[in-house]
Structures are given as C-alpha cells and as structure tokens.
Amino acid sequence: MENVKRHAWLWWTFILALVTLSLVLGFLQYRWIGAVSRAERQNLRETLEAGITRVSHQLNSELSAAASALLPEEVEADRRERERDYAAAFAQVKAGLYGPLVKREFLAVPEQSTIQLRGLDEKAGVFRAEAWPAGWEHLRAMLESRAKGEFPDFDAIAQSGADTPGVVEIPRFGPGGRTRGTKELEWIIVEFDTDHIFRSTLPALMQTHLGKNDAANYDLEVTAGPEHKLLFQSAGAIGRADASVATFDAHGGLFRGRRGRGNGRPPMAGPERGVWTLAVRHHAGSLEAFVEQARVRNLAVTGGILVLMMFAVAALVRLTRRSQRLAELQIQFVAGVSHELRTPLSVMRTAGHNLRGAMAADPEKVRKYGGLIEQQAESLGAIVEQVLSFARGKSGSPIGRLEPASVKFLIEEAVKAAGCPTELEIEPNLPLVLADATSLRHALQNLLTNAAKYGRPGDPVRVEAGLNRNGSPGSVEIRVRDRGEGIPRHELRHIFDPFYRGASAVAKQIHGTGLGLTITRGIIRAHRGTIAVKSEPGSGTEFTIRLEPAPAGDVK
Ligand code: ADP
C-alpha cells in the first residue's frame, strides 16, 4: 500500500511538472511568434520596396532604350531624308526587342508660331500632317514654349504625362547636340502601348524582381501626374499602399547632360524617376494584415497543440487515478479474501483434528463436527463462487440461456439459499420475466445477504415485488430493504465498483469480498434490467431491481 502511495505521489509531481512546462512553453511560443511576426513584417516590407524599385528601374531602362533607338545619331539636314531615317528607325525598333512597347510615332515640327504634328504612316514609311488629337493640348503648349528656347520643365512633363499617358516627346537638338543652351529643333513623339505595359510588361517585371509566388500576392495600381490620375488597377482600388515608387521616365538617357539645372528635379519622390506612380498592396488588405493572419494561424496551431497536450495530461490523470484505485482495491481484495478464507479453514482444521482424536467415539460429537465442516465448506464454496462469477462476467456474459421464469419462485429460491429471516410481500399474478434462473437467483441472494449483513441485527430483510407503476409501465420491480446503518453519500457511487468495500464494513470486519454488488449489477444488466439504490444513513438501504416482462408468446 505504501508503495502504491509513493508511486501516486511521484505521478502527481510528474503531471504537475508537465502542465507547468506546457504553460511555460506556450507562453514562450506566444512571445516568440510575436517577435517573428514583427521581423517578418519588416523583412517583407523591405523586400517589397527593393523589388518594386528594381521593377521601376528596369521599366525606365527599357523605355529609355527604346526612345534612344528612335532618334538616329546622325541626323540629315534634308527634311525628307531625315523623316525617312526616323521612319526606318521606328520600323527597326518595332521589329526589335522593344517592339511591343511602342505603338505609334509622330513628329512635332515648329512652324512659325505654331507646331505642326506629322503622323507616321508605317506602311508607306512617310510622315503626314495631322490634326492634334483631343487631349494633347498640354503637350502642344509645352512644346510651343520649348520651341522658344525655354528649358523643359519637369512639372509640365509630369502634367502632360497625366493628360496623355504613355506619350513621350524626344527632342532633336540643334548644332552642339544635347548640351547646355542648345535649342530643341523638333520632337519625335512616341506613343507607348500603355495597355501592354500594364498587362504584360509590369506583371512580368514583378515576377522577375519579387519572385513568381510573391508577385501573385500583390495587387497593382498605376496613377499619373501630381494628382494621381488613375491609369490602371489589377484588382480594384488598393487604398493605402504597402509600397509605391515613381516610374515611366523615358527621358533618362536624353536629358542626362542637362540634369541639375533649374527644374531638373525628379517629378516624383523616391529613388526612381517618372511621371507615373506604381503602388502595390498585398491581397490580404495590407502586409500587416497578411502577417497578422499568419500570426493568428501560428497561434491557433500552437494553442491547438497545447490543448491537445492538456487533454493528454487529463487522460493520463484519469488513467492514473483509476489504476491507483484499482491497485488499492486489489490489495484490499486479496487481504479481504485471505481473511475470509482463514476463518472457515481454521474451523475445519480444528473440527478435523477433534474428529481424529477422542471425540471420534461420540456419535453426537461426530455429527456436530461434521455439520460444522459442511457449513464452513459451504461458506468457502460461496467465496470461490463469487470470485469465479466475477471472472466469468469479465471474460464474457455473466449469464446463460434466458427462459421465462416466475419472479415469486426466483425470490423464494434466493431467500432459501441466503438462509436469513425475511418478510415477503409479492403481488399476485406478476408477469413472467425472461431470466437465467441460476444467475438471477444469485443476484437476489447477494442483495439479501448484504441486507442481512449490514441491516439491523435481528431484523428480517424486507422483500417486495410488484408491477412498476411509475417508470416504464409493465416492468416488474423487486425491492430488497433493510433498516441498517445505510450507506454514506460519498460511498454510494463506489459500491458497484469491483473490490470496493465500505469503510464501516472493513472497520467492523464484516465478511465480504467487495464483489457482490459488481456481480449483481452485471447479471441484472445482462438481463436488460436496471438496479438502483436508495440509502439514508441511519435509517436503512433499499435496492430496486427492474426487469422487463417476458413477451406474451413466451408465457409458460
Ligand atoms: P461486500 O458486501 O462483500 O463488501 P458488495 O459488493 O456486496 O461487497 O458491497 C459493497 C459495499 O457496499 C459493502 O462493503 C458495503 O459497504 C456496502 N453495502 C452493500 N449493501 C449494503 C447494505 N444493504 N447496507 C449498507 N451497506 C451496504
């Protein structure tokens, strides 16, 4: 017993340590996930910003390369030849790597106080005078002022970039080339294919610089000019952007020599220049939302694992308590049974000894000792029977074949076997019940002997049988009642447990194995019946068995 207790103590300490450890780990994990999320957010933002800056840079490089290729290095003085060269350069660009980027080409030529627009007829390879398209007023006004020798103003370029998205003017300078103070003589106006840029170039660049999977996680928005006129949205308005960058600067290569003068600042802030703003936002709503989602998911998984561990610990506790109880009960049982066996055995040994000796001559004594041996052997047999029937109930059904039986007959047989004084009250004409008569008699006998053992000394056990009028109608009820000490409330839920013996039974050394009620309940349940107990400490105990009547066809 001491051993069992020490083990139990160790177990409890272990379980407590396990719970504490789980809680500490849970807390650390919570903090760790928080720290990881913050780092992740920072990292994602930096990667995103660097990525879209590279996107803008490459787009600008491609635009500048295409724009430079449109203006031949050597320009003919003769206008027709010059225009032929322009057309040839355009055809070459169109057929080359940047072909899909450019859509149309025009020529803006100053003529007296105005500027004439000449559109390229690609098929014929010639430029023809054209009316200025609607909406190009800003561009036209800007070129008119530049024709007078004014320096290109980036604000004006930005404004015209918003009015005529994708349209870029490439100046041809007078003698001296692209140096300070030289006048712009005319302009090649190239119209880039914005649709292609938005739907094909930008997504491809995003994939290259952010990675295929990550690029797919971001929505894109392109706006132009100081007022952020909307040009393109990949998936609805994005509201607050996770990162943005200026882009679309086809002048990079052309004005390089003139930077730093007057209005030479970039029209948009950021490491890249351009008249457009490229803004991106994570699908989840924002990077914060995305990281928060991941954090909540991580926390949920960790929490789930912790809860699972707690359940496992709870199961362990239950199991431990059960096995601990069982170990205690088994020890009690062994002690109890040994005690039970010792008394009849010593009586039998003494009687045998006496029979062998002088008493053998006295027939009266022989009969007395013989009777004693028989009685003790019977009590030994009852104990063995009890243990065997418990073992039978554990390894299979505790009962045999069911046959219709009379309740009155079963009770009378049980009373006879129990051999205790009883007071019977059995309703006449009770229906038969389906029973294995031997087992059911055994079950009733257990209740009767208990009532005799634990009842008031000298009191007869009261047995009543009748039809159940409250619960399931038609069922038969057998009540076994005594007026003994009763069962304390806290013991009531244990009395049907195997090997359980009440404290008072143990203290008063009342014979028993702690198996009687376990076996009785097993037998009643195997008959599809129920057994209930009502006990008032001080005024007695009543066990009630309910059995279903045998079906009508089975009546004997
Ligand atoms: P046993 O009688 O061998 O101890 P049982 O399984 O028959 O084992 O009963 C278990 C316990 O229930 C008993 O030890 C006793 O404490 C309590 N008990 C059973 N019947 C009665 C009763 N009629 N009155 C008081 N206590 C009872």
Quote the ligand 1 centre to 450 CA distance (angstroms): 6
**Predicted pLDDT at 51:** 92
Ligand 1: which of 385, 462, 517 to mutate, judged by most atoms within 8 Å of the beta carbon? 517
* Mean pLDDT in residue range 397-421: 91
pLDDT, one tens digit per residue, over 415-470 is 998 889 999 999 998 999 999 999 999 999 999 999 999 999 999 999 999 998 77
- Structural tokens at position 16: 């407590």
For ligand 1, is residue 454 a contact (CB within 6 Å)? yes
CA distance 23 to 20: 5
pLDDT, one tens digit per residue, over 68-101 is 888 887 777 788 888 999 999 999 999 998 999 9
Secondary structure (3-state) at 81: helix
pTM for the structure as a whole: 0.57
**Predicted pLDDT at 336:** 75
**Predicted pLDDT at 269:** 38
pLDDT, one tens digit per residue, over 271-316 is 567 888 899 999 888 888 888 898 899 889 988 988 998 898 889 8
- The mean pLDDT of the chain is 86
pLDDT, one tens digit per residue, over 329-382 is 788 778 778 878 888 899 999 998 888 886 777 888 888 889 999 989 988 888
Read off the pLDDT band of 253 (50, 70, 90): very low
Query: Which range has the top average pLDDT, 55-59, 139-143, 266-270?
Result: 55-59
CA distance 287 to 44: 8
**Predicted pLDDT at 177:** 60
The residue written with tokens 């003589």 in the block is 185
* Mean pLDDT in residue range 492-516: 90
pLDDT of 29 above 50: yes
- Surface-to-core class of residue 120, CB atoms within 10 Å of its CB (0-12 exposed, 13-18 middle, 19+ buried): buried
**Predicted pLDDT at 3:** 66
* Mean pLDDT in residue range 512-536: 93
Quote the ligand 1 centre to 456 CA distance (angstroms): 14
For ligand 1, is residue 192 a contact (CB within 6 Å)? no
- Structural tokens at position 34: 């928080």
For ligand 1, is residue 549 a contact (CB within 6 Å)? no
* Nearest ligand 1 atom to alpha carbon 484: 24
Quote the ligand 1 centre to 84 CA distance (angstroms): 119
Read off the pLDDT band of 175 (50, 70, 90): low
Quote the ligand 1 centre to 436 CA distance (angstroms): 24
List, as own/partner pairs, every contact residues 504-507 make where C-beta atoms lie below 8 angstroms and the sequence separation is at least 24, other chains included: 505/453, 505/454, 506/332, 506/336
For ligand 1, is residue 531 a contact (CB within 6 Å)? no
* Mean pLDDT in residue range 244-252: 81
**Predicted pLDDT at 285:** 82
Dihedral of CA 502/505/508/511: which sign?
A: negative
∠ CA 183-190-199, nearest 5°, is 145
Ligand 1: which of 333, 447, 501 to mutate, judged by most atoms within 8 Å of the beta carbon? 501
What is residue 522's DSSP assignment? H
pLDDT of 410 above 90: yes
